[in-house]
Structure 1
Amino acid sequence: MQRIGEVSAKYDISNRTLHYWEESGIIKSCRMENGYRYYDDYNVARIKQIIMLRKLNLPMQGIHRIFASGELSVVVEILTNHLEQTNHKADELRALSIVLERLIQIVKDHEDAGQIFKYLDVPENSAILKLKDALQIVLSERDNDMSENTAYGNNDVRIVSLPRMIFASYGVVSDTPEDDCWEKIRGLIDEYFLDHEPGFRNFGFGFNNENGEYGYEMLVTVPESFEVPQPFVRKEFNGGLFAALPAYLTIIGERWDQLNEWLRGSEDYELDWHPEILRDYLEECIDLRTFSSKETESSKRQLDLLLPIKRISRDKDEEDNSINEVISELEPREVMLPDITLAGCLFEFGNNKLPWKKSVPWYKLAQAIYKTGKDFGNRMIEGNNTFTLVFGDVDLPFPFYTLGKSGFVASVFAAVQIAKSFESYPVGLEERVLPSGKYLLFSTWIRSEIVTTKKLPLQKLYNAATEYIQRNNIKADFEYCLERDYRNDGRNTDRIELYIPLK
């Protein structure tokens, strides 16, 4: 028998995900006399099977059918359908690759950019028409495929303004904090018929306590004059602007990543995170009855993810002043780094990404570090600074990051520096030593007190590195480069350093 927390750490699955699988009926746990839930050997084996099928990108609906039926014919049917869809996508990508290769050759043959676009628009040019038609067909098929096989589109971010509200709050740290929290909150709602009150709303958010243990807190609106009973806490929320994105429970981690990526690329909004006044990363349950019904599948339970934001000032004088606050050192210095011990997670990128446009799921690194135990803080170097080892194609005859718009990231190792090794490492977290060596250092920074007003130009660092290497015929290591982020406030990056390893 294994506790739910042990299974979560061992297989790098959140407690919440295990709970969803239980609700769908594909695994079961039993609660022992000590109050904790355990999985027997049969269900642990079932969990490993589900993980394997998910790694094959099989949808949860198909996995549920496989285990609900247990018939060989059903398994073959589902896997065959998935293989056909995978082959169809592969064919589309191959077709798109052929079109793009031909288009690149056409562009190379016409050095004048203005003439290129005129050439592409000549209606009687049959070769171009065929390319454009083929490209349109491929993109249309991909759009249709995406609409049929994904729950959301890419343009779902909404800007919402939440009003002032009074909350009854309850938070708990446990093996199943969402469940335990919900049980208490639901009891309060039912006892006082709070969901019948005008403007009723229900929010939640995850947190880690001072020992690094995961917990969850829920908030429900109450009337101004309502006397909040123990053990609930009365809290006042002043409202404000949030970026909202819908998410089904089964893909909530990925959707938080998308929302954070949207904010990083926004020219109009910036983060306005102040947890002390509840301007936190909130999750709102829109339809309480449907969400809490046992008949509702996990894949159909929906939340709104809410990211606290504020508008970036467009005052001309303020813009002119803030431009001078971003400083870039684009002529490199040669530095020597000592051996650095890192604890981190390796993330593969299935689709090619430009080095400065990659999206690293930092929350997964944080979760893995928390799972090492209560003393993780004593093993880490002071400061919330991170290392990102960026890897490309080692078979190239030149550094992958010098390819400009054709460059790509194959994988990244996102990590923090540690003073001494952890006693054990959960699944997904590993230790590496960055060996001492010579590097070219490019950097950019901003005053920490105005860190949220401007986005640091990481692309400029890569462009400067490319130009310098090519201009000076530098013998650089082809395998990787190193990004190092500094955060004086513990959250927002106010300095980025790009290290190019030398041979």
Structure 2
Amino acid sequence: MYMIKKASEISGVSVRMLHYYDEIGLLSPQKSENGYRYYTEAEMACLQVILFYKYLGFSLKQIKFLMTKDDIEILNHLKKQLILMKKENENRLTLIETLQKTIDYEERKITMSTKEKFRGFVYQDHQKYKEMAIDKYGKDVVEKSMEKQKGKEQELTEKFNQIFALFAENKVKGLKTTSKENIELSQRLHDLICQYSFDCSFEVFSSIGYGYKENPEFKTNIDRFGMGTAEYACDAIQKYVNGVK
């Protein structure tokens, strides 16, 4: 068993945050007669799972809900997250290779095709979009629509890359997010999701737009096209959505 200070040292979670987890019922350790908190091996294992979910971008409210599931369900969910993380890691390795080629190109003027410049910029993480759509349309409808992507992943990736590259270019040009060019780009992006993924309502598309700037993973990826591109694209999407309502 571990006293709270030791649990904090091992996990890297501050004592204050461990107290907060206890207060909100996320992780409540054992308590001795004098009120001292101490953590069993099982509770330390739970803390590890919480940290995994936090790293993956889940809110404490979402994590608390997930932790109410039985062990088998949590394990299956973690396995799915592991698969996604492995895919992300593959993308990062590709990005590293692309970045190295870019540096070589700039330093030694080594030839690099336009297509090579955008290898690794992947925006086909539709699992999060899919979950939003399931809430609105139901699992059967969404599962059928996801079939449309099979065999077209690379084509979809390149189309997404083109759109975000154009958003970044418009930002550099000083175009307002409300400009005609950006509204048209937002429509292209919306049509792309509808064509390759699911029948995306304006409401869901608006949520996706906010996800671009609020989800750290999405924001980091999109901002590789140019700092601030994620927020810029989000603002354009909201203008597009509000304009067609």
TM (norm. structure 1) is 0.22
Kindly indicate which of the two structures has a greater share of residues assigned to helix. Answer: 2
Kindly indicate which of the two structures has a greater share of residues assigned to strand. Answer: 1
TM (norm. structure 2) is 0.40
